């Protein structure tokens, strides 16, 4: 096992990784920008090192500096977490060339799955269902021809990146040209690559994903599915496991497809295969995330598998300890992502200093937080503060537990998404299970008060 791991991230995921390292007797080394000198992830680590000025491009995105630092401090490995450089193949290669173990899949896998067109081609060749559409980068004229061939509505998507950036729904031909321009501009700015392609827009779809875990000895597991359909502008807001309404037969097909995807790229470490689940029960490959996911706690709670610890063990060369036949789903779990955003004002970011942060504790509750009272929320980074997770024997029990926990959660000093989550868990359509990815956009107003009276 490693003696020291450098955590190339910040916030709640850096805290989570530090705790997993401590459980395995590994010394955790944090990095931080000038803005994060007093951050919780710095306090949670065994040692911390300043990496640069507040802007991410000058600190958390400095791959060469981070790898050099790992060498300087004698770190055996780098854990990239999620976001930032976690799906950057060049970073993984730099780490490997420097003799520092990369805690994640091979650089080749990251590169292949990071290019959405190449990923679609790979999955189609492996027999994994893909959404009808282009399997190559398109010029604007080619995109128009593809859209006409597929029939509107279509989805314009960036070939690289994720998180909904560089993605536009187009319902009529007149909307295509401006959508292409916006998608290319956004993708070029976010990913340094303005490549796009076009695929059919699957109406009324749900976002269902399957958790993977694979070692370096040819063993691969699928740890069942999560539903991530509660999202806004392709940004997930609440996730749950297992997915409501997914029975044994569909669950088996989803899991088998995810394993086919893993074998097609020789996957190692933790990862996720995301699917669109259509109303008719057909599902289609969306993308593969070659990293730990924000929503991994719900899978951990229903399977009993510590995914972050497993990543560390796999990277150290150990074999997976559990067999597929031993895995079971126990109960139900839901995760609310608490953002420093104002949902009554279009989810505008709300930086500042947290003057109060209180979250309930008790059986069936878990809080993965990157902040405490007194901490600053900088303007420079993702607005995710914490994740409040509830488990119950049934979905109804987990919902009731989460509802109560949200009502008892209080954050002051910055606006948060808590009012949205309190509304969502009481919405009849959500409680019934199986909302589609457009539900939040249709149901939550773009400004003003929430749709109904909320608990304080």
Q: What is the DSSP code string of 70-123?
A: HHHHT-SEEE--SSTTTT-HHHHHHHHHTT-EESSS-HHHHHHHHSHHHHHHHH
CA distances from 197 to 168, 231, 257, 259, 260 (A): 11, 22, 23, 26, 24
**pLDDT of 453:** 47
CA distances from 263 to 106, 214, 267, 299, 381 (A): 13, 10, 6, 21, 35
CB of 241 closer than 8 Å to CB of 84 = no
CA distances from 173 to 18, 195, 202 (A): 50, 20, 17
Has residue 109 been placed in a domain?
Answer: no
CB of 334 closer than 8 Å to CB of 364 = no
375 and 231 in one domain? yes
**pLDDT of 393:** 98
- State how far Cα 178 lies from the chain centre: 28
**pLDDT of 445:** 75
CA distance linking residue 260 with residue 410, whole number of Å: 44
CB of 298 closer than 8 Å to CB of 368 = no
Has residue 139 been placed in a domain?
Answer: yes
CA distance linking residue 302 with residue 320, whole number of Å: 18
312 and 292 in one domain? yes
229 and 185 in one domain? no
**pLDDT of 450:** 59
Task: Give the orientation angle of helix 116-126 with respect to helix 107-114, to 10 degrees.
Answer: 100
382 and 397 in one domain? yes
126 — phi, psi (to 5°)? -85, 0
Reported as half-sphere exposure (CB side, CA atoms, 13 A), residue 425 has a value of: 32
318 and 399 in one domain? yes
CA distance linking residue 298 with residue 421, whole number of Å: 16
Domain that holds residue 171: 132-200
346 — phi, psi (to 5°)? 65, 25
Residues identified as active-site = 291
Last residue of a domain, one of 50, 85, 103: 103
216 and 142 in one domain? no
- State how far Cα 23 lies from the chain centre: 24
* Pairing status of strand 77-79 against strand 101-102: parallel
**pLDDT of 379:** 96
CA distance linking residue 94 with residue 142, whole number of Å: 36
343 and 437 in one domain? yes
Which residues, including other chains, have CB under 8 Å from residue 178's CB and lie 6 or more apart? none
CATH number for the domain spanning 185: value is 3.30.1490.20
**pLDDT of 425:** 97
Has residue 126 been placed in a domain?
Answer: no
Has residue 9 been placed in a domain?
Answer: yes
Nearest to 40 by CA among 21, 13, 58: 13
CATH number for the domain spanning 274: value is 3.30.470.20
225 and 190 in one domain? no
CB of 239 closer than 8 Å to CB of 225 = no
Has residue 454 been placed in a domain?
Answer: no
Bond before 409 cis per omega within 30 degrees: no
Pull the structure tokens for residue 19: 């705790």
Has residue 53 been placed in a domain?
Answer: yes
Has residue 67 been placed in a domain?
Answer: yes
411 and 316 in one domain? yes
**pLDDT of 268:** 97
CATH number for the domain spanning 86: value is 3.40.50.20
234 and 159 in one domain? no
177 and 256 in one domain? no
- b vs e for 352-365, b when ≥16 Cβ sit within 10 Å of the residue's Cβ? eebeebebbeeebb
Which residues, including other chains, have CB under 8 Å from residue 18's CB and lie 6 or more apart? 7, 28, 30, 41, 44, 45, 46
19 — phi, psi (to 5°)? -70, -35
Has residue 451 been placed in a domain?
Answer: no
Domain count, the chain: 3
**pLDDT of 455:** 40
Q: What does pTM read for this prediction?
A: 0.92
213 and 189 in one domain? no
Nearest to 28 by CA among 255, 293, 312, 226: 312
pLDDT tens, per residue, the chain with 456 residues: 999 999 999 999 999 999 999 999 999 999 999 999 999 999 999 999 999 999 999 999 999 999 999 999 999 999 999 999 999 999 999 999 999 999 999 999 999 999 888 999 999 999 999 998 887 889 999 999 999 999 999 999 988 766 677 889 999 999 999 999 999 998 888 777 889 999 999 999 999 999 999 999 999 999 999 999 999 988 999 999 999 999 999 999 999 999 999 999 999 999 999 999 999 999 999 999 999 999 999 999 999 999 999 999 999 999 999 999 999 999 999 999 999 999 989 899 999 999 999 999 999 999 999 999 999 999 999 999 999 999 999 999 999 999 999 999 999 999 999 999 999 999 999 999 989 999 999 999 765 555 554 443
């Amino acid at each position: 096992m490693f003696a020291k791991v450098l955590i190339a991230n910040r916030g709640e995921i850096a805290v989570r990784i530090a705790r997993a390292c401590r459980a395995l007797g590994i010394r955790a080394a944090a990095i931080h920008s000038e803005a994060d000198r007093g951050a919780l992830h710095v306090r949670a680590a065994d040692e911390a090192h300043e990496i640069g000025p507040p802007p991410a491009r000058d600190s958390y995105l400095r791959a060469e500096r981070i790898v050099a630092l790992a060498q300087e401090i004698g770190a055996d490995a780098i854990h990239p977490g999620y976001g930032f450089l976690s799906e950057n193949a060049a970073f993984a290669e730099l780490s490997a060339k420097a003799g520092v173990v990369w805690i994640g899949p091979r650089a080749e896998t990251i590169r292949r799955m990071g290019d959405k067109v190449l990923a679609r081609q790979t999955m189609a060749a492996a027999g994994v269902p893909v959404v009808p559409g282009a399997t190559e980068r398109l010029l604007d004229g080619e995109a128009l021809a593809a859209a006409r061939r597929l029939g509107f509505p279509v989805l314009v998507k960036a070939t690289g990146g994720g998180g909904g950036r560089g993605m536009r729904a187009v319902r009529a031909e007149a909307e295509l040209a401006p959508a292409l321009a916006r998608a290319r501009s956004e993708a070029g700015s976010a990913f340094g690559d303005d490549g796009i392609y076009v695929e059919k827009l699957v109406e009324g779809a749900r976002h269902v994903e399957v958790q993977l875990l694979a070692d370096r000895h040819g063993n691969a597991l699928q740890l069942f599915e999560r539903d991530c359909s509660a999202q806004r502008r392709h940004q997930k807001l609440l996730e749950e496991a297992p997915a409501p309404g997914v029975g044994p037969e569909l669950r088996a097909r989803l899991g088998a497809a995810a394993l086919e995807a893993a074998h097609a790229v020789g996957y190692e470490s933790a990862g996720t295969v995301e699917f669109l689940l259509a109303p008719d029960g057909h599902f289609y490959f969306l993308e593969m995330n070659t990293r730990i996911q924000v929503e991994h706690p719900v899978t951990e709670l229903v399977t009993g598998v510590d995914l972050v610890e497993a990543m560390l063990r796999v990277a150290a060369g150990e074999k997976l300890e559990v067999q597929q036949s031993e895995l079971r789903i126990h109960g139900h779990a839901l995760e609310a992502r608490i953002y420093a955003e104002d949902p009554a004002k279009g989810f505008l970011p709300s930086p500042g200093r947290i003057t109060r942060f209180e979250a309930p504790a008790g059986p069936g509750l878990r809080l993965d937080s990157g902040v405490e009272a007194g901490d600053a929320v900088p303007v420079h980074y993702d607005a995710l503060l914490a994740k409040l997770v509830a488990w119950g024997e049934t979905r109804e029990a987990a919902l009731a537990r989460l509802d109560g926990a949200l009502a008892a959660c209080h954050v002051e000093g910055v606006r948060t998404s808590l009012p949205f989550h309190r509304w969502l868990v009481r919405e009849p359509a959500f409680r019934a299970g199986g909302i589609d990815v457009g539900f939040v956009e249709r149901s939550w107003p773009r400004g003003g008060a929430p749709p109904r009276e909320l608990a304080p």
